[in-house]
Structure 1
Amino acid sequence: MSRAWWLLLGLVGASLIPLALGGREMLDQVLEFPLDSLLIMFGMICLCWLINAQKLRVLLNGRAGEIGQAQSVGIIMASEFAFYATPGGTGGPLTLMALLARHGMRPAQSSAIFAVDQLSDLLFFLCALAAVLVFTLSHSVSPNLEMSLITSGVLLGGLFFGVVLLARFQRRVIRANGRLLRRLGMKSRARLHWARKLLHFRDTLLSSLRQPRRRLALIFFLTCCHWTLRFSVLYLVLSAMNVDLHWAWTFLIQLISLAAGLAMLLPGGAGGTELTSAALLAPLVGKSTAAAAILIWRVVTYYFYLVMGAPVFALLAGRPLLRKLMGARESA
């Protein structure tokens, strides 16, 4: 459990970053923050869980049997807890696949479901960034945000273009992957085993994408609802602190900060997210206000996920899966 303790220390250290940035004045603003606004934001996160649970049921389309609303909410909460509690969010998809396997879904099927979900997220962020870009054409923007917007657009656009190329040249990619594994010394039987898994994943993914347009539109609509709520938290925090900052800038700050945090491969982007958001937000609203807003924002969108998701994860997944995700060795 030593690794878990190091991760816990990292989380505590990350939570102290806003305090170091804002000092006593930041604490005063946090203590004066309206309780009703905080409760509303916690309610928004609960609504996000309900939306994602409904999206999961739409994605499954009965392929995992009859999963009720409570079960789907539990799967979402446990998966998101694992995402925020593991480096780089790697535990999220693994937990989702493990829980869906208990409902009879093969790993290739559940991973295809996860891939469709990620493609829907990617499409939303591309559309949202395009809308922010149009907004900036008629509004002045700081050089930091302008460069961040361009960088984010290039990265997301490149990622989307890469997905399109992968879909277009999938056969060549599969063959190239087989040749690479052969050069690495993998036996022919093992290569055949992984090739079958990859082909099954591809077929399941294509089957999911060939669903009726209404169902795909519903999936994208639920995705938009979830991320719009999720990325409105920082805007509402600042509004409750009587800070007038447009939603577009808060969206961009959150997107860049969360991406930077994940790139550091720490649980929930701890440390990197706080530092990046502080660097972008402080020039706009001041250090103490930025520090207070970041602390409240992270409590709602990160620590709340851990506190509420931990018991659900323990109930549905259990300690063995947690040890596997944390990389700890089980005792004999």
Structure 2
Amino acid sequence: MSRGILLLLALLAAVLIPSLLGGNETWSRLQKFPLQWLLIMFGMILLCWVLNTMRLRLLLGDQRDKVGRVKSLGVVMAAEFAYCATPGGSGGPLTIMALLARHGVRPARGSAVFAMDQLSDLLFFLCALSGILIYALFQHLSERMEWLLTVSAVSMFGGLLTCVVVARYHRLLIRLSGRLLVRLNVKGATRVRWARKLLHFLAAFTDTLKLPFQTLITVFALTCLHWLLRYSVLYLALRGLGADLQWAWSFLIQMLSLSAGQFSLLPGGAGAAELTSAALLAPMVGKSTAAAAILIWRAVTYYFYLLVGGPVFLLMLGRPLLKKLLNFRQA
């Protein structure tokens, strides 16, 4: 089965799951949703793209002049489309590096920019989760919410610990991976080429870390604004539907649902994210409200990325790379 068909099936499942959950009442709830609230949400996503464009240009450092502001925005939009259209978001980093390389940014520098971007995201989620944990200490939580917080905390700190271990013992890991490649009968020339690419990446990542402290703080501030806006969409959808759910819990539900979507290896987590969010949200606000909120949330943060980012992707990279990404299989 081709990746294109898989994407269509995932999109169909993403619509059917909340529709079946809420039944006929879901569509009546959607019709009553305030149009101005929906326009505000789409405006928030447009602002998110602008914030990510600023973040990208800051991380490029002295290479930013090679990519103009408009083209930087195009890189962000095309990459978001690739994240949503490929299993586990695997096409996102490939798109970023390919577009940057077309404008003269070395692949090692492009991958370092992506890694720094991901590290900034991880730090934000750690800070946000820590704030939610502190807030939860003063609340009476159900066993369900305690379990959600525990799982989130373990996964986030596990991710941070992994990053620290890789950074601290990268030389040992390179040697161990080299021995593994020898046992797998990988040719010597291939091992040397991969090792050279890895060393170039580490050098570029070190250079990125050496950016002025003020620049790194600005990047983190832009990261916080981006995710606060994007993770407020579900909260606003619930408020527009008349549900009263605290922002912290809507944030936690989105984080867990999108994580489940990533692990499912479905394009954009379609189907898995809806199923997880429905299971978490329905007991809190009711089935019909949960279903309507999920449809609005995914329309703004998923379908909109595909509809708007798709033409930008095709314009900047063309159909051959799109076909390559859709047929991309993880090792």
Compute the TM-score of the two structures, normalised by the length of structure 2.
0.97
Unaligned runs of 5+ in 1: none
Secondary structure in 1 matching 2:312:
helix
**Counterparts of 1:139 and 1:251, CA distance in 2:** 16
- The residue number in structure 2 matching 1:262 is 262
CA RMSD between the two structures: 1.4
**Counterparts of 1:118 and 1:7, CA distance in 2:** 25
Secondary structure in 2 matching 1:108:
helix
**Counterparts of 1:2 and 1:158, CA distance in 2:** 34
CA gap 1:164/1:68 in 2 versus in 1, 3 angstroms = same
- The residue number in structure 2 matching 1:205 is 205
Q: Which residue type is aligned with residue 111 of structure 1?
A: S
The answer to whether 1:146 aligns with 2:172 is no
| Alpha-carbon distance, 1:190 to partner | 1.6
- The residue number in structure 1 matching 2:289 is 289
- The residue number in structure 1 matching 2:227 is 227
Q: Which residue type is aligned with residue 168 of structure 1?
A: R
| Alpha-carbon distance, 1:65 to partner | 3.1
The answer to whether 1:307 aligns with 2:311 is no
- The residue number in structure 1 matching 2:136 is 136
**Counterparts of 2:102 and 2:233, CA distance in 1:** 34
Q: Which runs of 4+ in 1 moved over 3 A?
A: none
**Counterparts of 1:9 and 1:168, CA distance in 2:** 42
Alpha carbons 2:67, 2:100 under 8 Å: kept: no
- The residue number in structure 1 matching 2:51 is 51
Alpha carbons 1:80, 1:305 under 8 Å: kept: yes
The answer to whether 1:278 aligns with 2:266 is no
Alpha carbons 2:57, 2:64 under 8 Å: kept: no
Alpha carbons 2:66, 2:104 under 8 Å: kept: no
Structure-to-structure mapping, 1:235-246, within 5 angstroms: 235-246=235-246
Deviations 1:109-148 (A, max 9, x none): 1111100000000000000000000000011223222211
| Alpha-carbon distance, 1:62 to partner | 2.9
Alpha carbons 2:21, 2:288 under 8 Å: kept: yes
Alpha carbons 2:121, 2:223 under 8 Å: kept: yes
The answer to whether 1:81 aligns with 2:81 is yes
**Counterparts of 1:328 and 1:48, CA distance in 2:** 27
Deviations 1:150-200 (A, max 9, x none): 111101101101111111111111111111111111122221111111111
- The residue number in structure 1 matching 2:18 is 18
Structure-to-structure mapping, 1:98-113, within 5 angstroms: 98-113=98-113
| Alpha-carbon distance, 1:64 to partner | 4.9
- The residue number in structure 2 matching 1:4 is 4
**Counterparts of 2:67 and 2:301, CA distance in 1:** 26
Alpha carbons 1:65, 1:103 under 8 Å: kept: no
Alpha carbons 1:278, 1:294 under 8 Å: kept: yes
CA gap 1:195/1:66 in 2 versus in 1, 3 angstroms = closer
Alpha carbons 2:7, 2:267 under 8 Å: kept: yes
Range with bigger deviation, 201-210 or 3-12: 3-12
- The residue number in structure 2 matching 1:327 is 327
Q: Which residue type is aligned with residue 269 of structure 2?
A: G
**Counterparts of 2:327 and 2:271, CA distance in 1:** 21
Q: Which residue type is aligned with residue 208 of structure 2?
A: S
Alpha carbons 2:253, 2:280 under 8 Å: kept: yes
Alpha carbons 1:64, 1:104 under 8 Å: kept: no
Alpha carbons 1:64, 1:100 under 8 Å: kept: no
**Counterparts of 2:291 and 2:176, CA distance in 1:** 49
The answer to whether 1:185 aligns with 2:189 is no
Deviations 1:228-275 (A, max 9, x none): 000000111111112111110000000000000111100110111001
**Counterparts of 1:108 and 1:214, CA distance in 2:** 24
**Counterparts of 2:249 and 2:277, CA distance in 1:** 11
Alpha carbons 1:101, 1:107 under 8 Å: kept: yes
- The residue number in structure 1 matching 2:97 is 97
- The residue number in structure 2 matching 1:195 is 195
Range with bigger deviation, 155-164 or 139-148: 139-148
Alpha carbons 2:61, 2:211 under 8 Å: kept: no
Q: Which residue type is aligned with residue 117 of structure 1?
A: D
**Counterparts of 1:213 and 1:6, CA distance in 2:** 44
Unaligned runs of 5+ in 2: none
Alpha carbons 1:64, 1:103 under 8 Å: kept: no
**Counterparts of 1:64 and 1:212, CA distance in 2:** 15
Number of equivalences: 329
Alpha carbons 1:82, 1:91 under 8 Å: kept: yes
Alpha carbons 1:261, 1:269 under 8 Å: kept: yes
Alpha carbons 2:18, 2:295 under 8 Å: kept: yes
**Counterparts of 1:175 and 1:284, CA distance in 2:** 50
**Counterparts of 1:228 and 1:25, CA distance in 2:** 30
